[in-house]
Amino acid sequence: MGEKIRVLVPEEEVEAKIREVGAQISRDYAGRSVHLISILKGGVFFTCELAKNITVPVSLDFMAVSSYGGDTKSSGVVKIVKDLDEPLQGKDVLIVEDIIDSGRTLAHLVEVLKQRNPGSIRICTLLDKPSRRVKKQVVVDYTCFTIPDEFVVGYGLDYDQKYRNLPYIGVVEF
């Protein structure tokens, strides 16, 4: 545990932005329900807070995809570790991610989910690193924070399974 954590986005700022994004989603889905797909493990913290701030009916499912292994950089190989429990036919789907960088995982995931005939698919992320984007076709509909290319933890994001429970977004300084 020789690394130090520098606060990038304080807890109050994270909470305020999630409230704001939840209100926007509520306006955009007015009169409909939204089916949140939380991408495990990191996305669960953000998904729970986001859901509390959405006023339209919400249903929820989970998916686990892997593209990192034990490294700090995406391997580019995407595998579904846990699939959805519910069919998506006709549902307005909102994929909820903790962070999007290269976009490889998400591009693959969107293609997989489109084959299940949802009514719509949108993407919401806590953090976006557009400077690392390889898959330019990935369009993020709701972004809480655009961040520089630094290795971040907290609010569900981990480094080797540590720091997920930090209530703020921090940068790992090795």
| pLDDT tens figures, 122-152 | 999 999 998 888 887 888 999 999 999 999 9
Q: Is the pTM of this model over 0.85?
A: yes
Distance CA(31)–CA(52), nearest Å, equals 18
12 pLDDT above the threshold of 90: yes
pLDDT band at 76 (very low <50, low <70, confident <90, very high): low
**Identified catalytic residue from 28, 71, 83, 101:** 101
* Catalytic residue check, 71: no
Q: Reduce the secondary structure of 9-72 to three states and give it as a string.
A: ECHHHHHHHHHHHHHHHHHHCCCCCEEEEEEECCHHHHHHHHHHCCCCCEEEEEEEEECCCCCC
Residue-wise pLDDT for 44-74, tens only, equals: 999 999 999 999 999 999 999 876 555 555 5
